[in-house]
Structure 1
Amino acid sequence: MINTKSLKVSKRIAVILLIAIFSIVGIVACGNAEDISGSSSGGFTPIPEPDPGKTGPLTTDLPSLGLDYKKDIPTETKPIPPTSEDFPEDTKYEIYAPCVTWEGNYLVVSYLDTNSLNDIWKKHVARSGSNDNIRWIIRDGDNRQTNPKEGNYYYFDNNADIVHSGNYANGIKLKEFVGGVIVKYNQDNTGQASDVWTIGGLYKTLLNKDNNNSEGRQGYGKHDNKNLNEFMRATHNREEGDLSIILMNVGYATFDDRYDFIFSYEFGVDEYYSTTDNNYRKNASYFIGKNPSEYYAKLDAKINHSRDLNSYNFRFIMAEAENGWLQ
């Protein structure tokens, strides 16, 4: 007789064994499906250790972009400033500007061309056309010396600022150069009005009359010198920040053989400014790049410092340049 109980146990064991066999086959199959090593062995292929004897340096070569770095990479260039040729014709004036090139006394320049006007004024006072190291200076009102650099005088430094030199206020900067401007002569020594336009320098007064200025420098009136007071225009109480135009008035030309120079000439010193309109008294933007016919009409004070040489001996005269002078 067959033992049914033993048969049931044997069937149960067989079922368990079959389940185990199918599970193992499934795990192996899954392992083969996830193999990304490219191996046909059915498992992960380990990365081999490098052979020290065969290992070389790492390469750092990058693909060429085909650029010639000296030619193909753009370099920064400075813009070329415009010249008077680039401005409208109705902004141009023919101005009398001797001593700039010596190739001609007249230049055509636009009042919008501020760079050229600055350059023309600096070249004018430096007598650049002469190329002889002789510069214009302004003889002070009390200077009666044969040598123009003896006594008191004013010179233009390397920024074209006006500096006093002499036995009082020595080395003091009095007027700061703001920019070159076009201006018309008021009149000549005969009292005749002029229609000649010329180059001038717009200057800012640096000192007050009586009080210290913003930098603590004493007022020009404290020097108690009538010539300095005249040049600084104490009559109109000119103060720090006040603007005026300085120009050489050739209508007050004289020949004087006292000085040992090739060209022994002297010229008048003119100064024009406004006493009534605060815009033209203080604001340089009313002059720089503006129509000279407009601002000239606003300058109610037109002073010629050379009008009476018996009283004041102010003149543009020539002297050899030194260190600190406009070169």
Structure 2
Amino acid sequence: MSVTATPTGTPVTAPPPGRPARARDRHHRGAGRWIVLAVVTVGALLMLVPFAFMLLNAFKPPGQYSTEGPLSWPSEFYTEGLRAYWTQVDFPLKLWNSTLIAGSVAVLAVVVSLLNAYALGIGRVRGRLWIVGLFLLANMLPQESLVYPLYYFAKEVGLYNTRLVVIIIFTVIQSAFGTYLLASVLGTFPRGLLEAAALDGAGTWTVLWRVVLPNVRPTLAVLLVFFFIWTWNEFLIPLVMLIDNQTQTIPVALASLQGDRLMDAPTTNAGALISLVPAIVFFLIFQRTLSRGITVGAEK
């Protein structure tokens, strides 16, 4: 270890050769880091318990489930539940409906959120704080309070039992959250960039697409992933709006497997398992985009 002096004469202790100060700091914080890692690992394992039970009972015969319960190990590899669910609910059609609705909502909600937030965060429209507060209030409304007005609206305009009405509804709902988030982000957008673009003769749309969009693209990617997953998992509004087998989504199809007095538990678990796969695949594909967007947002 060596001691050097700054121009002001203050001695500074330098780390020994071959041992950076950052590595030494990590070593000193090792115990706390391991504790945090252990807690996170235990929490992750607890969250995986329901998925383990679902996987266990998806391939268990109905007779064994009735006599031995959900905790028993399957006596045979039972696949009739998967086949029954695939054919009974017409899973390829339900997969297409869910993908179409969730994908359309994700893209449209991101576009609407960006346009709204651009006007509120950078355009500085009059009454901006009140409008942002209104969007925040809209996010707090439970869907149960919106069902009847939305049902009446769909009936009046002739869109009831169509995928389009669900896309419109969730585009508005998701964009309310997206507008609130992006308006806060764009409210702190560097004014120097905007002034430089204005001096170069850039108009409103040019500033949006050439200056603002490249800087908020990671945040938009995160919103796109969240909007897709949130819409994919929605149940109440699609249950009310989509009553035809040709328009229903995967969560509604899962609910149709349960009767008043009888439930085929292996088929239900198999259906839940196969219905979970597309969402997991989508998340794994965009996992890097999601982590990159969160990291970039943290750095900014």
TM range (shorter): under 0.3
- The structure with the largest strand share of the pair is 1
Larger Rg: 1
- The structure with the largest helix share of the pair is 2
Give the TM-score of the pair, scaled to structure 2. 0.19
- Higher relative contact order, chain-length normalized (CA < 8 Å, sep 6+): 2
Give the TM-score of the pair, scaled to structure 1. 0.18
